[in-house]
């Protein structure tokens, strides 16, 4: 079963799971996004979304992307 969710935190995904994404771009890595969220840089005031789209299949994350 597949599910798509919009999340405002990376807390539901482990760093290892998030970084397994095939894109391997530095600006969507767990470390980068979690720092933006934790410091408040990802907020409406800065026009940076604090939301992420997460695709899971059989409970395992198979895709992720920051969204605005």
pLDDT at 60: 86
Mean pLDDT by 10 residues, the chain (68 residues): 83 80 74 82 64 86 78
Strand stretches in 1-68, DSSP E: 2-7, 51-57, 60-67
Q: What is the pLDDT of residue 22?
A: 64
Strand arrangement of the beta sheet that strand 60-67 belongs to: 2-7, 51-57, 60-67
* pLDDT for 6: 87
Domain ranges of the chain: 2-67
For position 9, what pLDDT does the model report? 75
Q: What pLDDT sits at residue 61?
A: 85
Residue 48 is predicted with a pLDDT of 60
């Amino acid at each position: 079963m597949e599910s798509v969710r919009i999340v405002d935190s990376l807390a539901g995904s482990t760093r290892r799971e998030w970084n397994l994404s095939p894109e391997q771009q530095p600006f969507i890595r767990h470390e980068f996004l979690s720092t933006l969220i934790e410091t408040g840089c990802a907020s409406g005031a800065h026009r940076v979304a604090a939301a992420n789209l997460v695709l899971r299949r059989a409970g395992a994350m198979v895709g992720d992307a920051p969204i605005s």
